[in-house]
Amino acid sequence: MKLDANLPILSADSPANLLDPIDIIHTMIDLRAQLAALEQQVQALQPAFYAACTALNLEKIATERATISRKLTPGKWAYPAEIMEQEDLLKQLKSQFQQAHEPIGGREIIWAIKLLLATA
């Protein structure tokens, strides 16, 4: 699925802000469905993309539209038991603190969209 160029792009000062709320909701759902389809395409292409980059054997690949850099994923360690115990204690202390105190940020109201359409 390709992005639908006919869907309106809404900005803060756009006349589209005056549309019926249901129209805006349907537009958001359409965009989310397109985004999900694009994410599936990206995931499907990822192995071939990595193979193509590896085949070039370069630190950086420069094209007209992008620069692609090779990076390492974050390292993982097997910590000793004492450190893991301290981490568990810290998590408990944080949980107790959170229960006793109000947060200083966050807790904004958001609206989540769960797509009910198959995107296959």
Note whether residue 35 is domain-resident: yes
Note whether residue 27 is domain-resident: yes
Tell me which H or E stretch contains 6: none
Note whether residue 68 is domain-resident: yes
Give 51's Cβ-side CA count (13 Å radius): 5
Map tokens 């549309």 to a residue: 19
Note whether residue 85 is domain-resident: no
pLDDT bracket for residue 112 (50, 70, 90) = confident
Structure-model confidence comparison of residues 12 and 107, the more confident one: 107
Note whether residue 53 is domain-resident: yes
Give the count of domains, the chain.
Answer: 1
What is the span of the domain harbouring residue 30? 15-73
Note whether residue 62 is domain-resident: yes
What's the predicted TM-score (pTM) here? 0.61
Q: Which 3 state secondary structure label does DSSP give 17?
A: helix
CA-angle at 64, arms to 53 and 59, nearest 5°: 35
Tell me which H or E stretch contains 85: helix 81-100
Cβ atoms 3, 38 nearer than 8 A: yes
The CA distance from 115 to 117, in Å, is 6
pLDDT bracket for residue 41 (50, 70, 90) = very high
- Greatest Cα-to-Cα distance within the chain, rounded to the nearest angstrom: 60
Tokens of 70: 């090779």
